[in-house]
Structure formats: C-alpha cells, structure tokens
Structure 1
Amino acid sequence: MALIELTGYGEAATTKPVLALVAICGILLGSWLRAVLFPHGNAAVKAPIVGLRWAYPARVQYLNNAMNLLQEGYRQLGLFVPLICEEMKWALTQEIPPCKDKWVSVLGFDTVVKLVVHDFARISVASLERNKEWMEIQRMFPENVFRVAIQMRVIPPYLKRISSYLMPASWAVSRNLHNAQRLITPIVEERRRMETVKDPDYKPPNDFLQWLMDEAWNERDGQPAELVHRLLVLALASVHTTSMTATQVLYDIIAHPEYLEPLREEILQALKEDGGWQKTTLTKMRKLDSFMKESQRLNGPSLIGFKRAAMEDITLSDGTVLPKGVHMVVPVVPISLESVTPDPGVFQGFRFYYERQKPGKSNLHQFAMTDKNNMHFGHGKYSCPGRFFAAHAIKILIAHLILNYDFKFPEGKSRPGNLLAHEYCFPDPTAHILVKERDGPWSI
C-alpha cells in the first residue's frame, strides 16, 4: 500500500503528505489514550503505541486522571453548551471571510480545525478563550507531535531515541510546551493564591484547567508544568479527532443536499422547544445524529481497531491459541459496512434515525454508542471516554454552519476523496469548499 493515496468516492485531489500528518494525529492518539487511561484487565495483552513514545514521551505516566476529566466534561456539558455556542458564533465571524451575497472559497478541513480550536480554548482555560497564541499552540502542537510520530515509524529501533532529539518537529514540540507554560503558569499561580486567601467572593472558573488542578493527586501533579502537559494532551485528543469527523459530516452534507432542509428544520424545532441552546436541545437532533453516524460508518478514521499485542501465549475459549508476540486487530470498517442492510455501500443519512423509530429502539443506534457492529470509538471497557462530549461538540458546530451558511463544492468538483495513510483514513486537507452567508434571521 502506498504511504499516501486518495480513496473513497468523489474526485481525487492533489495532496502534500506533510499536510496529512495533522489529521493522522487524532487517530493515533485514540489508541494511545486508551492504552494509558485504562488499566488492562488482562496483563497478557497491551496496546502498541506507534511512534508516540518518541514524539511525546515526557508525561505519559501522568495521564491517569484524564478519564475522570473527560467524564466530568460530559456531566458539565449542560453548563458548557451556551458558552460553546456563544464562542462558535464569534468564531464564525473570525474564520469565515465576509460572504454576504457572494460565494467565497475556504479550505474545508483547516476552517473546521480553527472553529474547533476556538471552542476548546473557551472551555480549557477561560481567561485565554480568545488568546491567539494559546489557540495557535493548540492547533500546532498536535501537528508537531505527530510529525515526529509518523517519522518514527520508518526509523530502526536503535536509532529512535537519538533521532527524536534531532528532528525539527521535535524542537517545535518543545517550543509549544515552553510557550504554553509561559501563558498558563501565571494563571495557575493566581488561582492558587485566591484559594489560599479564601476570599468568599472568589468563584473558581469552571474549565478544564481548574478540573485538572482539583484532580491533582499530589503536589507534583498540581505543578504548572504538569498541568500544561495534561492540557495539551487533551487538546491532542479533542481538537483533531473532532475536526476530522466534523469535516467528513460537512462534506457529506454538501454532497447530499437533499438532507439539508430536513436537518435545518429539526435543529430549528429543537431550539424553539428549548428556547435556545441547552444540553437537551442536542439530544433532540436525532436526524443530525443519524447523519453523523452514517458519515462515520462510510468514512471511519481507521480501517482497523483494537490493536493489541500478545505478551504471552493466550488460549481462547474455543481453543484457538494466540502465540506470544502476535499482533491482533479488528477490521472495524468491514464490520461496520457489513452490519447494515440493505445497500451497505450506499450513503443513507437517516438510516439510523429510522432504526430508532422502531419499537424498543428509541435509545439505540446513536452516534456515540458502541456495539459489536460499530467500533470506531472502541467498545466496552476500552471505549473512547470523550466520545459523548465530541458528539455534542460536532452537533453544535454543524448546526451553526448549516443554519448560517450555504455550501457547495467548486464548479466541476465533487466530494473530495479521503486520504489513506497506511490504515488511517481522513479528509483531504487541501480540498476547498464554497460558502455564502444565508439570508434571513438565522442568528442562533
């Protein structure tokens, strides 16, 4: 298999491999985080960490409270939804050029990444929500880390350590960390000071940084340098995985315009019922949830999942022996394609919406749910802990985009083909889309 090639439906585009690295980051990090965050029930297997050990080795051992943080983020989502929506409205004015009564061309994936960065900046460190340097760090840190990680795949083991120190991308990672620590340290120190003086009027900010400070198990974990590492790891996990999926959904909406008005009507009805943006508003968007799930089914981030290596001989219940050292994977995409009928290869945006209309299935077939036929987020104990938070973030982003703008592909172009790098599949980062502001009172 070629290292970089275009696949999927739609017209192929000319791409540069270096631009693909930023998109690969989210997929690699998913398996990395699952390996670190969860204690394995069976010590006979482990999840390989491909390249990341050398790209960002410093703080793997301090991620054991990240699962609690991601789960807390979902529990607090009711408070965050209005804040994220407020930030999204402002971000659209910053990242999409003026396009009243005219079509303008923008890079699809790059625009979505910037919008997601705005949202993450808002909930990660409240006082830095619109700080351009902080947002740029969150955008570039994943790219720099995974440039190193991907390059490590082709370097012999005995050269990996020295090579990791000689790569320009590795130096960029260090600069990102240094600059982030320069921004975050004064904020942490001021919050600690306010906690010490016990000012009755002081109310700790409700953001990821504060949660990390509260979750610190000991004095070392609460040091600014450690908190910075954890914040950036969360950015690694949150920004680009969310951006990749949201871009695929947007491309599919443009490619299948017959779904656009039903989606808009559902969103507006949910907003009307709740009187604005609430957590419950998002759960009412069942057609959008189905559309996202169908888009992921046909454009999943990886062809395979559950990457494991046997650390000793393992005998399965049917007598099958897995020898020590063997690597195991699950064919995630073939399973998801074969699990639906009829026409598993045909895009049907409301496929899962109709499934949920059947008796007893109202709460099944949701985007963030996993089962034996849908393992893009993993499954069971090792499922991605941030998938529910990501699902709602994608809904907010897509809803704001399609209510406020019209989209189409450039003249003579169809849906951009996906980029395939080894087993990883992601949207073409060089593809352009056309956008125009809608007429009417669509301010949400």
Structure 2
Amino acid sequence: MLSDIILTSKSFLRSHEPQISLLLLFASLIVTYIVLYPKPVAFDLVNGKTAFELFNRRSKANFVKNAYGIISDRLQKVPGKPFRVLADVGEVTILPPEYAHQIRNDERFSFTKAAYRWFYAHLPGMEGFEAGTNETHLMKLIARHQLTHQLTKVTKPVSDECVAALQDLYTEEEEWHQVTVREVNLKIMARVTSRIFLGEELCRNPDWLKVTSTYSVVAFRAVEELRKWPTLLHPVVMWFLPNCTAARGLVKQTRDIITPVLQKRRGMKAQAAATGDKVVFNDAISWLEAVAEEKSVRYDPACAQLSLSTAALHSTTDFFTQVTLDIAKDPSLIDALRAEIITVLGNGTWTKNSLYNLKLMDSVLKESQRLKPIAIASMRRYTEEDVTLEDGSSVPKDSLTLVSAHRHWDEAFYKNPHSFDGYRFFNMRQQPGLENKSQLVSATVDHMGFGFGLHACPGRFFASEEIKITLAHMLMNYDLRTIAGCDLSPRQHGFSLLANPTAKLEIRKRSNTQDF
C-alpha cells in the first residue's frame, strides 16, 4: 500500500513538474518581497470592537465621550508610540507629540485632503468647508497677507466695531445682570469679524449676522449627522438629514446676500475706471477678488465668505469665551490687566507696538489656550502614500492622522500643568531664549493651540489682535464675576474641547471707564 502511494506521488510530481516549479518560484518571490519590502505595520487599535460585536458604534460613541481619557491612557502605558483609535470620523492614527517635527512640512501628509474628508466638503451645504480646503489656497493667501502684513489697516475698524458691539450686547446697564457668555460673545465676534470681512455696509446686517453666527454650528452638526451613516449613503441621506438641509439653506442665503453687494461694487469700479478714477474697498470681499484675479483662479465669493466666517468665528468665539471665563475667576488678574492696558494704551492709540506690549494679556491668552485648546489633537493630515517614519514604522496610504497635544498638560513641560497661571508665559518671556516661544502667536510642539508647522493657523496674527482689542475694551468698560454654583468647565466632544456653551457670568457697565 505504501509503495503504491509513493509510486503515485512520483508519477504526479513528474506529470506536474512545470506547474510545481512555477508554484515554487512564485512562492519564493512572495517570500523575497515580504522580506525586502515589508508592508506598513498597522499600529495598535486601542478601542476596537469586541469579538462579539458586528459594528463599531459602541467604540465610536465611547470615544466621543472619553477621547481625552483614551488617548491619555495609551500615551501613559506606551509612551512615544503611534496608535490607532476609532473616532466618530472613522479610524484615525494618533502620533505622539514628538512626531510633529517629522510630519510638519511633509507633503505626503496632506492638509487639504484631510480637511476635505473630515468635513465632507464635496457635499452640497458644506461649501463653507470646501472653499477653505481646495488647492487654490485663496483663504490662506488672504490670512497670510491682508490679515497679517496689513494689520495696521484693520486695527481701527476692529476697535470701532468692538465699542459699538459691546454697547449693544453687553449693554449700558450698571446693575449686575447675567449673560450666557458664549452666546453674547458669538454675536460680538460676528460683528467684529464681519466688519473686516464684509465691510461696514454688511457687518450689522441682521440677515448676514444670523447666517454667519448660525452656519458654523449647523454645518458642524451636519457633519456629526453624516458620520452616523456609511460613506456610500452620504449622497442620499444628506437630502433628508435636518442639519444638512439647514446648511444648504444657509448657503443659499449667503449667495442672496453677497451676490448683490459684489455686483454693485463691480459696477462702481467699472464706472470709476471709465473716468480714470479708482474705488478701493478694504475688506475681504475686495481682497478675494483681487487675489483671484492675480492668481487667475475661479472662486465662489459667497462660499469664500462662509469659509472665512467658519474658520475665524468658530475658533475665535471659543477662545474669547474661554479666556473670559478664566479671568472672571480671578479679580486680582483683572485688576492687573486693566493696569497694563492703561499703561500701554494711555495715549489712546492702537499700534502694532502697543499690541505687542500687552505682555500680561498675551500671557493670559496663551495660558487659557494651553489649558483648553480647541482640540486635544492637532495637525490633521491625510497620507497620500505609505510613509515610513524615522523609527522604521509606517503609516499606510489613505490614513487620517493627528498629533496629540498632550504636552499642553505634561508636567515635564509645564509646572502644575492642570492649573491656570496667567503669569506663566509672562515670566517665561523674561528668560533668555524664550522671548519668542512664549508669545501667543508662536506655534510649538509644546503649545499647538494654533497648530504647528507649515499649516499652522495663518490667521492667528489677526485673531490675536482681534481678541486683545475686544478684551481690552471689555475690561475697561465692564465688571464681571462668577455665579455661585455655575459650571464653567469645558465640554469635550471627540477631539474637540470647547468652552462651556451654557456657562453664565454676571456683568455690569463700569461707571468710571476709560476707552481707546
């Protein structure tokens, strides 16, 4: 029996020798490829579904509620090693802070494609995200040039609108009264940013103010709605989801408001040119027109304004709200800030130098942003190819990646990192070698409130000026204090860390005021 089996096997091998040789060659090639060209190593998934779960809903929902805890726990247990999480947006690779320098200017990590995928910018209603994530970079050019290098031209309009907005929204009431801080600050910032982006004719237009203060909230909620559905169904369900529908309506309203203004201005410019005159407007409507013409690119004026509004208003309101809540807890800090404002701005003149010399205010703002940045991870990117990192590990193609901002709360970088110290960066600024790093607009791995690297927030210089001017006017004209039992703590939602939207303070108009 055994001999028959051996004979049969030999016969089989002889008859199939060419095929077997080919199979062995193919197998050897596979082994060689695996050895010489290993596939990207998949990082650990720290919050995946269990063996008995069919879907990822539980993991994603838990991450939305406890993202900070999940990321912190992993970084403590396995420091310095990348890992993956299941977030509401899907699978995301988290890089520890020390990897920020590696990817900060690496074009294989795409900023625009990450934002495009994160916010579904290709869908109707999401045009406010699309204009800021396409490859023409008009928004970035505006932020880096007109909103940075020409700050002196917008300082007075910002100041004038701050005064008017505070009078209308914080009121002239000299008795203590309660305000929901984020709600009132959103309206103030909507007017101030609109004064710069749209000019005096529209910055107090109630229809535009409603759109600009509503769109970012509605659009972010629409994104959250879409994330609950499979990607393949997005083009269908978007027509039925409430916030997606509302977002499309706001886009239409924006076009209805912006288009007539743009047409009127083009007509005025044409008439002036015919007589050899020139009409100049110093706002983002005009800037976008000029840059688009200079770069020979097409753009959607209405959606460009939505993009500017979404980028500036959402983050700036959150920042200003948080610092308002922070300083309200410390009356002595308010007194010190007022003394600095009087010293620096005693002559009533807003200049680049006077803004620079508000060093305590700069420190307070940077500390507020350190303790509560707008997100617990920064530098959102999308890999366009397999990327091998310096330690030999690889990030696969088509991966969404973020860099953890956990150095913000790391004892190795900040003493008492979970405590608010308004003088922290003021004191650091006195130390040789730390003068620049300690300023609000400096983006470092230890402080990524404005991001880091090539795509650090290009509008941070304008945001810094806008908030300083608004805070100075507010402190010189109003008293503020906390309310016993009122929760002022931030709210976490996935990667976002937001100023408490329901937090209230008591305010009153000061009887002896000094304005600028």
Q: Which amino acid aligns with 2:443?
A: T
- Report matched runs for 1:403-414 at 5 Å: 403-413=476-486
Q: Distance in 2 between matches of 1:372 and 1:2?
A: 24
State the one-letter code of the partner of 1:432. Answer: K
Q: Secondary structure at the match of 2:107?
A: coil
- Any idea what SS the aligned residue of 1:74 has? coil
In 1, the alpha carbon distance for the partners of 2:485 and 2:294 equals 59
Match of 1:163?
A: 237
Q: Take 1:403 and 1:183, find their aligned partners in 2: how far apart are those partners?
A: 35
RMSD across aligned positions (CA)? 2.7
**What is the aligned partner in structure 2 of residue 97 from structure 1?**
171
TM-score of the pair, normalised by structure 1: 0.85
Between 1:291-300 and 1:174-183, the stretch displaced more is 174-183
Aligned to 2:497: 425
Q: Is it true that 1:215 corresponds to 2:324 in the alignment?
A: no
TM-score (normalised: structure 2): 0.74
- Whether 1:42 aligns to 2:107 is yes
Separation in 2, partners of 1:365, 1:143: 32
Cα deviations across residues 79-100 of structure 1 (Å, max 9, x unaligned)?
Answer: 1111111111110111123421
Q: CA deviation at 1:314?
A: 2.1
1:83 aligns with 2:157: yes
Question: What is the aligned counterpart of 1:245 among 319, 344, 349?
Answer: 319
Q: Distance in 1 between matches of 2:256 and 2:408?
A: 46
Q: Distance in 1 between matches of 2:285 and 2:235?
A: 31
Distance in 2, matches of 1:205 and 1:306, equals 34
| Alpha-carbon offset, residue 77 of structure 1 | 1.3
- Partner of residue 357 from structure 2, selected from 284, 298, 319: 284
1: distance between equivalents of 2:278 and 2:388?
A: 58
* Consecutive aligned runs of 4 or more in structure 1 exceeding 6 Å deviation: 5-8
Q: Is the 8 A contact 1:107 1:432 kept in 2?
A: yes
- Cα distance change, pair 333–248 in 1 and its aligned pair in 2 (3 A): farther
Provide the rounded CA distance (Å) in 1 between the counterparts of 2:105 and 2:394: 20
Mapped partners of 1:428, 1:336: distance in 2: 19
Instruction: Give 1:4-403 correspondences, 5 Å limit.
Output: 41-43=106-108, 47=114, 49-53=117-121, 54=123, 56-57=126-127, 59=131, 60-61=133-134, 63-71=136-144, 72-100=146-174, 102-126=175-199, 127-197=201-271, 198=273, 199-217=275-293, 226-272=300-346, 275-403=348-476
Deviations 1:332-371 (A, max 9, x none): 0345534534222221111111111123433331111111
CA deviations 1:177-227 (Å, max 9, x no partner) are 22222222222122222322314554311000000111114899567xx11
Q: CA offset at residue 326 of structure 1? A: 4.7
Gaps of 5+ in 2: 1-61, 70-103
Deviates more, 1:317-326 or 1:295-304: 317-326
Q: Which residue identity does 1:56 align to in structure 2?
A: M
Contact conserved, 1:336 with 1:373, CA < 8 A, in 2? no
Post-superposition shift, 1:124? 1.3
Query: CA offsets per residue over residues 243-301 of structure 1, 9 Å max, x none?
Result: 001111011001122211111111111112x5422232211101000011111111111
Show CA shifts across 1:146-205 (max 9, x none): 111111121111211111122222222222222222222222122222322314554311
Secondary structure of 2:148's match?
helix
Give 1:50 shift.
Answer: 2.0
Does the 8 A contact of 1:91 with 1:115 survive in 2? Answer: yes
**322-331 vs 300-309, which moves further:** 322-331
SS class of match (1:148): helix
Determine which structure has greater relative contact order: mean sequence separation of CA pairs < 8 Å that are 6+ residues apart, divided by chain length. 1
Answer yes or no: is the 8 Å Cα contact 2:191–2:204 preserved in 1: yes
Change in 2 beyond 3 A, CA 1:324/1:210: closer
Alpha carbons of 1:62 and 1:196: their partners in 2 closer, same or farther (altered >3 Å)? farther
8 Å contact 1:298–1:337 — kept in the other structure?
no
Name the count of aligned residue pairs: 410
Distance 1:344-1:434 versus aligned 2 partners, 3 A rule: same
Distance 1:400 1:93 in 2: 10
CA contact (8 A) 1:289 1:367 kept: yes
Contact 1:125-1:208 within 8 A present in 2 as well:
yes
CA contact 2:436–2:442 (8 Å) conserved in 1: no
CA contact (8 A) 2:109 2:381 kept: no
Which runs of no fewer than 5 residues in structure 1 stay unpaired? 9-38
Change (3 A) 1:344 1:3: closer
Partner Cα separation in structure 2 for residue 7 and residue 119 of structure 1: 33
Q: Partner letter of residue 111 of structure 1?
A: V
Q: What is the SS of the residue equivalent to 1:73?
A: coil
Shift of 1:325: 4.8
- Displacement of 1:418 in angstroms is 0.9
Identity %, equivalent residues: 27
SS in 1 for 2:345: helix
* Alpha-carbon distance in structure 1 between the residues aligned to 2:506 and 2:63: 30
Paired residue type of 1:387? R
